[in-house]
Amino acid sequence: MTALAHEVMPVTDNTPTPVPELDEILWQTWKTMELPEGYRAEIIEGTIEVSPTGRRRHTVLINRLRRALEAHLEGGDHAVWHDGNVIHRRKVWIPDLFVAPRDLDEIPDEENLGVDAAGVAMVIEVVSPGQRNTERDRARKRREYARAGIPLYVLIDDFDEDGTVVVLAGPDTRKGIYADEHRVSYGTDAVIPEGPAKGFAIDEAITRA
């Protein structure tokens, strides 16, 4: 899809931010959507994508990660969150997990429909089977999260060889890329290098079949 030339000007903290008209159309459409139970809708690179909740393996990995991250973050001012809208300039993503302030009221989006991506420290996606799903998490969401300046993006990927964990850091918001990539096979600890979850290891206890 191609963005249209006209722009609208939503206001955040009294600072106008230009948003392409296509993004505004998608945003207004997304807000009015009514989905069957078990489905979710995201706005990713100029399209609204509807997807079902994950399979059993997907659920198992997310819950192992969440429990381990909760223990790691205990006592700090950040927490791990699930099934929430992360919003950036009329884009909407629902990461499998994300790390953000324990009080999400600290980072509201403009319309109180989710949280502002600027306050999110890390996003985690567990890759689902199927070409479209893998391409979404490995490529399109990778670009979107980098454009939003989210400091860390972690992929748990059963479908990359025998399974890999990829930790991406150093977002370039202009190019939509992460400058640093650390990729390890299942069975080797993938350690979070910075931020509230620094030192947290995604290990075999999490990724085991």
Residue 15 has pLDDT above 70, yes or no: no
pLDDT for 99 beyond 70? yes
CA dist 31 to 40, 69, 83, 88, 121, Å? 12, 31, 16, 14, 25
Task: Check whether 106 has a pLDDT greater than 80.
Answer: yes
Q: What is the CB neighbour count within 10 angstroms for residue 189?
A: 13
Q: What is the pLDDT of residues 37-80, one digit of tens each?
A: 999 999 999 999 999 988 999 999 999 999 999 999 999 999 99
Q: Hey, what are 62's tokens? A: 């997310």
Residue 88 in contact with residue 116, Cβ under 8 Å? yes
pLDDT the model gives residue 200: 98
pLDDT at 18 over 80: no
pLDDT of residue 19: 62
Looking at residue 133, its amino acid is N
Instruction: For 159-182, write each residue's pLDDT tens digit.
Output: 999 999 999 999 999 999 999 999
- pLDDT above 70 as % of the chain: 91
DSSP result, 137-152: IIIIHHHHHHHTT-SE
When mean pLDDT is compared across 20-24, 130-134, 139-143, 161-165, the lowest value belongs to 20-24
Closest CA to 128 of 56, 181, 49: 56
What are the strands, taking DSSP E only, across 53-200? 78-81, 86-88, 91-93, 97-101, 115-116, 122-126, 152-157, 164-172, 177-185, 190-191
